[in-house]
Structure 1
Amino acid sequence: MLSAVQSAFWDNGYAGTSLEDLLAASGLGKGSLYGAFGDKQRLFLRVLREYDEANDRMLRTWLEHADRGVDVIRRFATGVARDPSGEQARRGCLLANTAMELSANAAEVAAEARRSYAATTAVLTDAVRRAQREGDVAPDRDPEVVARAVLAGQLGLIVLGRIGQDPETLATTAEALVDALLSAP
């Protein structure tokens, strides 16, 4: 049920998702929806946190199972460009979409975005350190600075995807971003 609610918010944004959309997505009546989740904002924050936690688990799993640390960084940064149809890129990332829509006026959303991006940066920092040990990233690069730059670049790619950048250009840009940020020794 929450995945359907998440999809409604993801597709329409917070402001564009009506109570009727939430009732249809959840299959609940108005009283049951409010009884289970409180108001729209609390439901949205729960969905957003679950999304963020799932992404964190996914990144940690990638790092745990990757052959090389650099593979995690490359996969993270280029993921938005992997769908040749461009549909995933146009949908964007729920957190990035939300941060752009609500962070200026919703302190709880801004705090959740900062928490989630800090967690992502921590995993990417670990991946950069591993890539340095494996000889794929110059040892003199600050791992946390590189990780933040990879995240910032990936967020830029998400914006380009959302505005309909053609998939081939998006993929080329993503690869150039990773190559420039990692600059192997």
Structure 2
Amino acid sequence: MATFPHLKSLWDISLGDPSICIAVLDGLVDLSHPCFDKANLARLPTLVTGAADRGSASQHGTHVTSIIFGQHDSPVLGIAPHCRGLIVPVFAGESDGDLIPCSQIDLARAIERVVAGLEKKSRVLNETEKKIVAYHEVGHALVGALMTGSGQVEKISIVPRGMAALGYTLQLPNNFRPKIAF
């Protein structure tokens, strides 16, 4: 608390909102840690498999996640304990303590899952629906291309994802430079 002198005043205003979802892309997280009791956390499946252990990747993932979602009746007081959380493991650990990052394609898939939602394999589009969704998404891309200051289209998908999306168009700002913090 001494490191963040204004944190207490922020907690007086809000402890987070359950309608806000925060994704943590890090190592595996030990969800049995007492600070996560009553936390609304879900782990998305990635190619980083297994359970959290005492390795450096799991320790880092658990630490970062506890700073955000630690419940206030626990040893770690998080900054947004009432928000929903998605845990997306993108690092594994070696026995010597080294971190093993996932591949770029696996990282892109993990980000897509967070942004667009899980693929709805149960929702199969027929050929007519695929054509309608494709035209719709291309319309988003064309309007975006005609708008000044709009970023380039990175991806168009007609794969149903999330609660209601039958497809999506992903545009990134022109000056987008991903920032990765460790």
TM-score if structure 1 supplies the norm length? 0.24
**Greater helix content:** 1
Pair member with larger Rg: 2
Q: Which has the higher contact order (CA 8 A, sep 6+)?
A: 1
**Greater strand content:** 2
